Chains A and B, each alone.
Chain A
């Protein structure tokens, strides 16, 4: 019996992809996805693709049920109890369908939609190195690679199951069949090296909402860059008046308070680059997020550091300024005055609210450097 269902399923998936593309903004601004990072797959709920019919609205959507309870006892949430028809299953109702999509695929969809160019790497680019790793076990192989422990374990297993193992006189003798050998796999390790350095202002003037925006945006940038470079390295720096290099978890979860010295983050960033990421070998992407409320006298210092050290080293330096109810947002202006609008490597973005994330990502990644 030949099944054409795969074809229909593929067709459905294509439509869903289109649907995801339409609603991309929505998915991008949703932060729960960050929580799910780590698994390769994210579930994206898509509305049950329904063919529209004339049907009853909710206002009269009562039904008959059975069970205990007094008048007034709630029996279901507004969203889920659909109609309570006598006809279970005849009406699909408003199910939410979850479609699993890999992060890479999502990045690809995002790239198509945002028209992101593929990044051309520099450095010891395009050189892929083959490496052998002993990762698995086989039943045949050269004696030099024999895995003794596995071999004896197999022998023991065989003896127990064939009832020839005597616990009082434990003697395990492997036979040919028991022998196990180490085996290798060849893996290709890319030599194109890239590092993304995220700097976030966690000073008191940054509200939770703004940090959320930064996190969401950083997450998506990360997703895109990971799809471009295998094994991209990521560094996180948080700063208020002083900066420190932190791990991913801390970066996404810290609440601090205090003043703001952007130059401190720049210094930390420069130290990192000097120590580990030589600009000649590495593609360096810097992303800085702040509400732009820097200490007045620090601006000059920051801009000097940026001009003399960071910009020459980085492929691209992105500054995203989140609008803040408290901050003056003057740093963006200071940068504009210092570098002008069209600096080759510096990208400036003003993120008004969550909806602005989409445009901002497009701005940051749209250059393909």
Chain B
């Protein structure tokens, strides 16, 4: 039930919307119907605080976000230009105080996003009726708050939010296992009944030891035993979707299950936006720039437009601007495929001057970037298209933390390291990879998580707080196997105190 009513845009803006939509279509962009809404700064800040959904469930962190946004706006530190929701139809918000040039820029930008939402593969499984569902979620949670108390529901939401990033972002595309819902929580602990003897072939006595050789029988018995052991392990394979694991196995009340389901749905809905930030913003910027400079810009608007475009593209030394990186990469790809700078022959060419002048007139640039926007996410995008030349041209460097001086400093400008670092930051959205490896540790229903350690340690205080929140959901002791200060360590929380065991204890768990 979308209870939001929208006023139609004023005539001038509606006319521009028509024209820009036509422009966008003529370039081959393909999008859901797009509804623009004109709102004032306070409304826009509020909507942005809600992640774009004005009817979202109540939670203090939205209030905090709003406070931050509106302070930033009132002190003139920041201003949201555009906000667009992945939904069918797409909803986009325009700020009423923006100048006409800005509105045109934003509209063109929004059509880029809408095209991306509709066509990028990583968005293909997102819920396109999220506007309605979010309102629905909001109502359900509000109802629970009325019945069970705001404090209680809010505290539960806080706990769930602690694990909201522990989802399996590839799950929508892969079927990992059969649904386990409804299965016994703890498989029969008393399953001590002897293994059925491995199947023997029928044979006459004197032939038996040839047809059923004892060695083969023994091997078969062993295989069955191992298989059974694996089945008994719970979960049978490590699970990346910790939220799902908790949902299926934690002793939660019905309303809690519903809240957790809601938060998990929302986490999956938002995940692709985190996975494609660079591409999505790059693509939208590419198109606002193209549409504005080729079709829409009036002579008197040029300076204003340039000023704002440049503001959007500004870079800082410690944070790569996704708008800038994205648009430049798309342009680079377009240029390379226009000039035929790809394929074996080009890759193997060592002659720098030849490379610099390389132009086969292939002219496939536009076609290529449309393909790229369809199939890639940020990780594969950078992996496939970030070249040495690009890295040099844009003066990219890798920086790291220098503990002695307490500063971040430039570590290297070597291309492989820079790219590796960038890919690392993008892998799993820059978050540690954590899986459930055991849901019945020591046969006491304790949960063991495992952090896939690749040289970067967890923030220990955060990890402890997260465990404490996870405990509130799981209601049995929880552990995480990780590495702290170069020593394999298990952090545990049993409901009253935090413990940290290094090496030896961790080895025990692994052996099990």
Q: Residues of A with Cβ closer than 8 Å to B?
A: 1, 3-5, 7-13, 15, 48-49, 51-79, 81, 83-91, 95, 97-99
Contacts and interface: CB of A to CB of B under 8 A. Distances in A.
15 contacts: A8-B58, A8-B66, A12-B61, A51-B158, A51-B161, A52-B465, A53-B162, A55-B462, A56-B456, A63-B319, A64-B421, A67-B315, A78-B406, A84-B320, A85-B319
Of A54, A62, A68, A71, chain B has the most CB atoms within 10 Å of the CB of A54
Contacts of A71: 410-413
Contact of B68 (A75, A81, A97): A97
Interface stretch (B180-188, B199-207, B232-240, B395-403): B395-403
A82 to B, nearest CB: 8
Interface in B51-79: 54, 58-64, 66-68, 71
A48 B61 CA distance: 10
A65 B277 CA distance: 16
B465 A88 contact: no
A85 B325 CA distance: 12
A75 B451 CA distance: 30
A12 B49 CA distance: 13
A65 B317 CA distance: 5
Interface string B464-476: 0110110000000
A49 B273 CA distance: 23
A60 B455 contact: yes
Given A65-B316, A75-B408, A8 B60 contact: yes
Which 4 residue pairs spanning A and B have beta carbons closest together? Answer: A60-B456, A8-B63, A52-B465, A12-B63
Chain B: interface secondary structure? mixed
A64 B397 contact: yes
A51 B406 CA distance: 26
B411 to A, nearest CB: 7
Contacts of B463: 54
Given A73-B409, A90-B274, 18 more contacts: A5-B63, A7-B58, A11-B154, A12-B61, A54-B480, A57-B460, A62-B401, A63-B408, A64-B422, A65-B318, A65-B320, A65-B410, A78-B401, A78-B408, A81-B399, A86-B425, A87-B322, A97-B64
B421 to A, nearest CB: 5
A59 B316 CA distance: 21
Given A58-B459, A60-B455, A86 B430 contact: yes
A250 B163 CA distance: 55
B447 interface: no
Contacts of B431: 53-56
Given A59-B403, A84-B318, A64 B398 contact: yes
Contact of A86 (B273, B325, B401): B325
A86 B410 contact: no
Given A8-B62, A85-B425, A56 B408 contact: no
A262 to B, nearest CB: 46
B291 interface: no
A7 B202 CA distance: 77
B294 interface: no
B457 interface: yes
B319 A9 contact: no
Contacts of A10: 63
Given A5-B49, A8-B66, A64-B425, A49 B60 contact: yes
Contacts of A86: 277-278, 320, 322, 325, 378, 382, 422, 425-426, 430
Given A8-B63, A87-B322, A55 B407 contact: no
B399 A77 contact: no
B286 interface: no
A48 B60 CA distance: 12
A72 B67 CA distance: 38
Contacts of B468: 52
Contacts of B403: 59
Contacts of A53: 162-165, 431, 462, 466
Given A53-B165, A78-B401, A97-B64, A85 B430 contact: yes
A39 to B, nearest CB: 15
Contacts of A12: 60-61, 63-64, 67
Contacts of B406: 77-79
A344 B67 CA distance: 48
Contacts of B13: none
Nearest to A87: B277
B166 interface: yes
B5 interface: yes
A130 B138 CA distance: 51
Nearest to A51: B161
A4 B145 CA distance: 15
A98 B469 CA distance: 26
Contact of B58 (A11, A15, A57): A11
Contacts of B451: 54
B395 A88 contact: no
A91 B430 contact: yes
Contacts of A83: 425, 430
A48 B468 CA distance: 19
B50 interface: yes
Nearest to B138: A4
B400 A52 contact: no
A221 B43 CA distance: 41
Contact of B397 (A5, A58, A66): A66
B244 interface: no
Given A86-B430, A87-B274, A87-B322, A77 B462 contact: no
Of A3, A10, A51, chain B has the most CB atoms within 10 Å of the CB of A51
